[in-house]
Structure 1
Amino acid sequence: MSAAELGEPHVLFDNERDAPPPQQQPLMDVRSWRMLKSMSGQLHLVTFRDCDGDHGVIRLTSAIVSIDLAERTVITSSGRQYVLIVPPEPGTFERQVLWAGAARLGLLGSTDVSDWSWGQMRDD
């Protein structure tokens, strides 16, 4: 019997492709995310979305160029805006998936600054 048959979580990264152009998807509400600082000092979001039990989408953003702390919104160099609806992903498995996805997509060795960045944002 395999691990998948026993119900243990497993991850397969496949079907790498770019996100739709920002003109088609200019604003994203984000509910599962971590903010990472690359070794070059740039900030990026890595998001986990469209999770339906069998699969989900990991997206690594282009570099963040501005953060609106009051609105909890980041804008990336592509021009796309991400609204951080909830605090950074707290789940251990989900965090590991986000970090692994970021490493696979080029942010190996990055530093997670999610909790610090969320702490700087407004608290209603």
Structure 2
Amino acid sequence: MPATPEEAAVNSADATPALRKRHGNGPLFFVFGTAFAVVTAIGWGYSVMNYSGLAGGVYHQVVSYEVASADEARITFEVNSQTGAQCLLTALDDQHVQVGQARSTVEAGNRIVTTSVDTVREASTVEVASCREQDPQD
């Protein structure tokens, strides 16, 4: 019989050897846990490195743009695609309202393209909204 109630509470918290072994106090549990963590980290890193997003394999970058007149703007941009690309260009005014839109077809490879966008009023900026790979049947 324990001498005090405090000793009874302390002694009741001691785990039995069977309980300790069942809950993974051995090195095998640690080895499997570490291996799982390493494999998960490598898989996550591989998936992040290979993620291309919704844009596909087309890279585009604006080189320059100029507002030629109140009803026209020109843009020069670079496109890199494997099978050719269809790019959507938009012209915006100083309040970020779209004032013009154009499509440009670009051949395969690394190309620098200059094209005009007709506008309904003077634009303040021209941008490449998107570029997508062309369908091989087109």
The TM-score normalised by the length of structure 2 is 0.23
- Which of the two has greater helix per residue? 2
Structure with greater proportional strand content: 2
Question: TM-score of the superposition, structure 1-length normalised?
Answer: 0.24
